[in-house]
């Protein structure tokens, strides 16, 4: 028990250091700018929350984008009515996300398996259509809900000037650029707010995984029918997991609005729900670090690989003869730019086929391979075991 707690503390400490050092670590890969760093942290939170439901209970939801979108709308309304301080917006986003997930979960969890997945997808699509065309006084329809100069903002006392989201006066877009080893590293206030919340969410997830409640959820995933035969009602546990997961999604939506005070119906589309499923499976469903790694990988491809065009490819393959260069560029351009989804699809196919446990399973296999090879080279030959008497 003591060893397990020590390992968890080490894991949390390493995770915290890596997250806080994100601008330095990712700068050489072209991913050290504030907007992308914020997305890494926010979608990491989104994926951690989804993993609490899918990774622990095995219930696959295709409707989590609804909670992400609802959280964004709730946060922007706080900015419009109360204050540009991010704290009330984030708290309200979590509450609204939790209440909305309670409503949807109460109905959807009457079914399991594919029927549960279809129900959550249906609710997400209904939410998207309501936000896009029905509840336009609340959501502002296809234009999206945004902050304006005429908003009351009661707690700000009618402050003049362009409104910016802040944390007790600290502007979320405030960025300090520092040169480290010849690299321009950007330290953004908004990212560190998201990073601190990501570390807190990771700690909550860690405690849930290790708690009796987490063990009960794993038992539900293992064999829910057998638990029901013993007379145990599993529905309160799965509903609690669904609501917690929805609150994480609402928190992520609130943070998206806090970094850029805008909420649109596109955040509630089924593609956003599918994206978080891919994040979790790519990284490793049911693991602690996997969803964060999956979120980082997908957002990196979305923002970096999608920006690569034929001009960049021509420069990269400039060492080839001209005829061969054009042929290689023609082929490789299919996998970058607008075709970055093709590359992501191939990676997903390879990982699901050869590493069903995601990137975490791949890292674990590699670690065991290195360890076993080291033992084989350095250790003495083991004597053959004596036959049993």
Q: In the 8-state DSSP scheme, what is residue 334?
A: G
The pLDDT assigned to 214 comes to 93
Q: In the 8-state DSSP scheme, what is residue 131?
A: I
**Mean of pLDDT values over 126-139:** 92
pLDDT above 70 for 387: no
**Mean of pLDDT values over 343-369:** 86
Distances (CA, A) of 148 to 76, 152, 170, 272: 11, 9, 20, 27
The pLDDT assigned to 388 comes to 46
How many C-beta atoms surround the C-beta of residue 376 within 10 A? 9
Q: Which residues pair with 187 in a beta bridge?
A: 176
Q: Which residues pair with 65 in a beta bridge?
A: none
**Mean of pLDDT values over 307-315:** 87
Q: What is the mean pLDDT of the chain?
A: 89
**Mean of pLDDT values over 337-366:** 86
pLDDT tens for each residue of 86-121: 999 999 999 999 999 999 999 999 998 899 999 999
0.85 cut: is pTM over it? Answer: yes
The share of the chain scoring above pLDDT 70, in percent, equals 95
pLDDT tens for each residue of 234-245: 899 999 999 999
Q: In the 8-state DSSP scheme, what is residue 173?
A: T
pLDDT band at 383 (very low <50, low <70, confident <90, very high): low
pLDDT band at 9 (very low <50, low <70, confident <90, very high): very high
pLDDT band at 160 (very low <50, low <70, confident <90, very high): low
pLDDT above 80 for 376: no
24 and 180 Cβ atoms separated by less than 8 Å: yes
User: What DSSP assignment string belongs to 191-223?
Assistant: HHHHHHHHHHHHHHHHHHHHSHHHHHHHHHHHH
pLDDT band at 389 (very low <50, low <70, confident <90, very high): very low
Long-range pairs of 312-318 with CB within 8 A, sequence gap ≥ 24: none
Give dist(CA 373, CA 259) in Å, integer: 47
Give dist(CA 250, CA 97) in Å, integer: 4
The pLDDT assigned to 384 comes to 52
pLDDT tens for each residue of 200-223: 999 999 999 999 999 999 999 988
| Angle between the N-to-C axes of helices 189-210 and 2-20, in degrees from 0 to 180, rounded to the nearest 10 | 160
Specify the 3-state DSSP secondary structure of 286.
Answer: coil
How many C-beta atoms surround the C-beta of residue 205 within 10 A? 24
pLDDT tens for each residue of 268-282: 988 889 999 999 999
Distances (CA, A) of 243 to 240, 250, 340, 357, 383: 5, 10, 33, 25, 55
Q: Between 181 and 272, where is the model more confident?
A: 272
Instruction: Count the helix, strand and coil residues of the chain and give each as a percent rounded to the nearest 5.
Output: 75, 5, 20
pLDDT tens for each residue of 293-306: 999 999 998 888 88
């Amino acid at each position: 028990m003591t060893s397990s707690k020590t390992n968890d503390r080490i894991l949390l400490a390493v995770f915290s250091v890596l997250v806080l050092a994100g601008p330095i670590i990712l700068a050489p890969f072209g991913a050290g700018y504030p907007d992308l760093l914020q997305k890494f942290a926010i979608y990491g939170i989104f994926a951690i929350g989804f993993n609490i439901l899918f990774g622990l209970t095995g219930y696959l939801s295709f409707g989590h984008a609804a909670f992400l979108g609802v959280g964004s709308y709730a946060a922007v309304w706080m900015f419009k009515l109360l204050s540009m301080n991010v704290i009330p917006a984030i708290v309200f986003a979590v509450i609204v996300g939790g209440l909305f997930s309670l409503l949807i979960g109460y109905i959807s969890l009457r079914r399991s398996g594919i029927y549960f997945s279809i129900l959550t997808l249906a609710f997400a699509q209904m939410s998207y259509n309501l936000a896009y065309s029905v509840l336009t006084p609340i959501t502002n329809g296809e234009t999206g809900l945004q902050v304006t100069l005429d908003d009351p903002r009661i707690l700000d006392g009618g402050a003049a000037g362009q409104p910016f989201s802040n944390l007790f006066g600290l502007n979320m877009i405030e960025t300090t650029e520092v040169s480290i080893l010849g690299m321009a590293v950007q330290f953004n206030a908004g990212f560190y707010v998201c990073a601190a919340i990501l570390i807190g969410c990771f700690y909550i997830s860690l405690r849930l995984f290790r708690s009796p409640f987490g063990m009960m959820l794993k038992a539900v995933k293992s064999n829910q029918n057998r638990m029901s035969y013993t007379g145990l009602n599993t529905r309160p546990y799965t509903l609690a997991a669904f609501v917690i997961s929805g609150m994480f999604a609402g928190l992520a939506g609130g943070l998206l609005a806090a970094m850029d005070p805008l909420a649109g119906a596109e955040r509630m589309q089924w593609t956003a729900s599918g994206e978080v499923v891919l994040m979790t499976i790519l990284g490793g469903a049911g693991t602690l670090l996997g969803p964060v790694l999956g979120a980082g990988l997908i957002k990196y491809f979305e923002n970096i690989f999608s920006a690569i065009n034929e001009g960049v490819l021509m420069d990269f393959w400039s060492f080839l003869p001209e005829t061969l260069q054009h042929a290689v560029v023609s082929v490789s351009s299919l996998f970058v730019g607008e075709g970055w989804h093709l590359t992501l699809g191939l990676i997903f196919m390879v990982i699901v086929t050869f590493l069903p446990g995601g990137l975490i399973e791949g890292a674990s296999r590699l670690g065991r391979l290195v360890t076993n090879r080291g033992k084989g080279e350095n250790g003495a030959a083991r004597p053959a075991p004596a036959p049993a008497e």
